[in-house]
C-alpha cells in the first residue's frame, strides 16, 4: 500500500490509459485464467490512477477559492483533521482512497503537510469499520481480530496525536526537498511502520484482555452427541 501512495505521488496518472488498455486486453483475451486475473488487477489499478488524475484536474480551480482554502487550513488542527479523515473513510469505506485524495490535493497545493498527515491518521481510524462490519455474525475469534485491529489503530492514533508536532517536524527533516505529496506518502509509510513496532510488545497484553472480555466457549462434545 505504501508503494501505491508513492506511485500516486509520482504523478503517473497521466499514463493511466496504458494499464487500462493492457489490463482490458489481458482480461478479455488471455487464455490462462491466472493471466486473465492479473489483467483485471492491472485494469483496476489503471482505473484508480485515472480517477485520481481526473480529480486532480477537477480540484485545480479551487486554488483560487478563498473559502475552500480557509477550510483546508483548518485541517492543520490535528483533532479536526483526524475527525475529517475518519469521517470520509467511514463514508467511502476506503482509507486508501482517502489518502489518495489527500495526496492529490497536496499536488495542487491545497493542503499543508500538517493537515495531510492529520487526515491520513484519521483514515486509519475510519478503516476499522470495514473490519468490524466483516465480523458481524462471525465467531468470537473473528470478533477478536476485528477488535484487535481497532485497538491497534487507536493506540497508534493516540500516540501519533500526542507527538503530532514532533512527527510533522520529523517528516520535514527527513524528506528534505521532496514534494508535498511525497512527504505525505512517506509519512503514511513511517506512521504505519512505527505503529507496528510500538504495538508488538503489547500483543500478548491485548490478547489476554480480549480473551477475558470474550472468552471462548468450550463445547461439550459428549453432551452434543447425546
Within a domain: residue 92?
Answer: yes
What's the confidence (pLDDT) of residue 220?
Answer: 42
For residues 38 and 42, what is the distance between their CA atoms, to the nearest angstrom?
Answer: 6
Q: Among 105, 26, 124, which residue's Cα sits nearest to residue 65? A: 105
Within a domain: residue 222?
Answer: no
User: In this structure, what C-alpha cell is assigned to residue 49?
Assistant: 490512477
Task: Tell me the pLDDT tens digit for each residue of 54-69.
Answer: 876 777 777 777 887 7
Rounded average pLDDT over 132-159: 80
More confident residue, 63 or 25: 25
What's the confidence (pLDDT) of residue 208?
Answer: 85
What's the confidence (pLDDT) of residue 216?
Answer: 67
Within a domain: residue 224?
Answer: no
What's the confidence (pLDDT) of residue 164?
Answer: 94
Percent residues over pLDDT 90 in the chain: 15
Instruction: Tell me, letter by letter, the H, E, C secondary structure of 71-94.
Output: HHHHHHCHHHHHHHHHHHHHHHCC
What's the confidence (pLDDT) of residue 10?
Answer: 63
Within a domain: residue 226?
Answer: no
* Number of structural domains found in the chain: 1
Q: In this model, does residue 219 exceed pLDDT 60? A: no
pTM above 0.75, yes or no: no
Residue whose entry in the numeric block shows the C-alpha cell 477488535:
147
Within a domain: residue 223?
Answer: no
Q: Among 72, 163, 71, 88, which residue's Cα sits nearest to residue 122? A: 88
Q: In this model, does residue 222 exceed pLDDT 70? A: no
Within a domain: residue 221?
Answer: no
What's the confidence (pLDDT) of residue 118?
Answer: 93
Q: In this model, does residue 3 exceed pLDDT 80? A: no
- Residue range(s) defining the domain that contains residue 32: 2-216
For residues 110 and 19, what is the distance between their CA atoms, to the nearest angstrom?
Answer: 28
What's the confidence (pLDDT) of residue 8?
Answer: 60
Amino acid at each position: 500500500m505504501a508503494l501505491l501512495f508513492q506511485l500516486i505521488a509520482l504523478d503517473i496518472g497521466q499514463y493511466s490509459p496504458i494499464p487500462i488498455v493492457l489490463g482490458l486486453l489481458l482480461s478479455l483475451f488471455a487464455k490462462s485464467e491466472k493471466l486473465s486475473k492479473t489483467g483485471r488487477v492491472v485494469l483496476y489499478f489503471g482505473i484508480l490512477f485515472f480517477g485520481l488524475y481526473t480529480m486532480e484536474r477537477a480540484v485545480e480551480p479551487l486554488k483560487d477559492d478563498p473559502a475552500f482554502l480557509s477550510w483546508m487550513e483548518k485541517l492543520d488542527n490535528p483533532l479536526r483533521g483526524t475527525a475529517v479523515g475518519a469521517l470520509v473513510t467511514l463514508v467511502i469505506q476506503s482509507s486508501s482512497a482517502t489518502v489518495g485524495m489527500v495526496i492529490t490535493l497536496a499536488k495542487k497545493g491545497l493542503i499543508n503537510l500538517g493537515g495531510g498527515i492529520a487526515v491520513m491518521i484519521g483514515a486509519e481510524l475510519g478503516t476499522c469499520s470495514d473490519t468490524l462490519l466483516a465480523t458481524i455474525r462471525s465467531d468470537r475469534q473473528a470478533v477478536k481480530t476485528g477488535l484487535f485491529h481497532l485497538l491497534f489503530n487507536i493506540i497508534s492514533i493516540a500516540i501519533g496525536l500526542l507527538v503530532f508536532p514532533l512527527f510533522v517536524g520529523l517528516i520535514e527533516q527527513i524528506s528534505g526537498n521532496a514534494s508535498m505529496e511525497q512527504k505525505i506518502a512517506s509519512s503514511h509509510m513511517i506512521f504505519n511502520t512505527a505503529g507496528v513496532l510500538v504495538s508488538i510488545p503489547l500483543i500478548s497484553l491485548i490478547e489476554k484482555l480480549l480473551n477475558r472480555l470474550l472468552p471462548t466457549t468450550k463445547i461439550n462434545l459428549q453432551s452434543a452427541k447425546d
